[in-house]
Amino acid sequence: MDGIKIGYARVSTTGQDLTAQRSALTALGVEDDRVYVDHGLTGTNRARPGLREALAACRAGDTLVVTKLDRLARSLPDARDIVDELTTRGVKLALGGSVHDPTDPVGRLLFNVLAMVAEFESDLIKMRTREGLAVARAAGKLRGRKPKLTARQEEHLVGLYRAGDSSTADLAELFGVGRSTVYRAIDRAGELVVAPPPIGEDAE
Q: Of the listed 12, 122, 166, 167, which one is catalytic?
A: 12
Question: Which string of DSSP letters, residue by residue, matches 119-138?
Answer: HHHHHHHHHHHHHHHHHHHH
Q: How far apart are CA 162 and CA 165, in angstroms?
A: 8
Torsion on CA atoms 58, 59, 65, 66, rounded to nearest 10:
40
Q: For residue 5, which phi and psi values (nearest 5 degrees)?
A: -105, 125
Q: For residue 66, which phi and psi values (nearest 5 degrees)?
A: -130, 155
What lies within 8 Å, CB to CB, of 51 at 6+ separation is 8, 10, 36, 38, 72
Name the DSSP class of 32. Answer: G
Core vs surface per residue 139-164: b (16+ CB within 10 A) or e? eeeeeeebbebeeebbebbbebbebb
Respond yes or no: is residue 12 known to be catalytic: yes
Distances (CA, A) of 103 to 31, 127, 160, 194: 27, 35, 38, 43
Residues annotated as catalytic (active site), given as ranges: 12
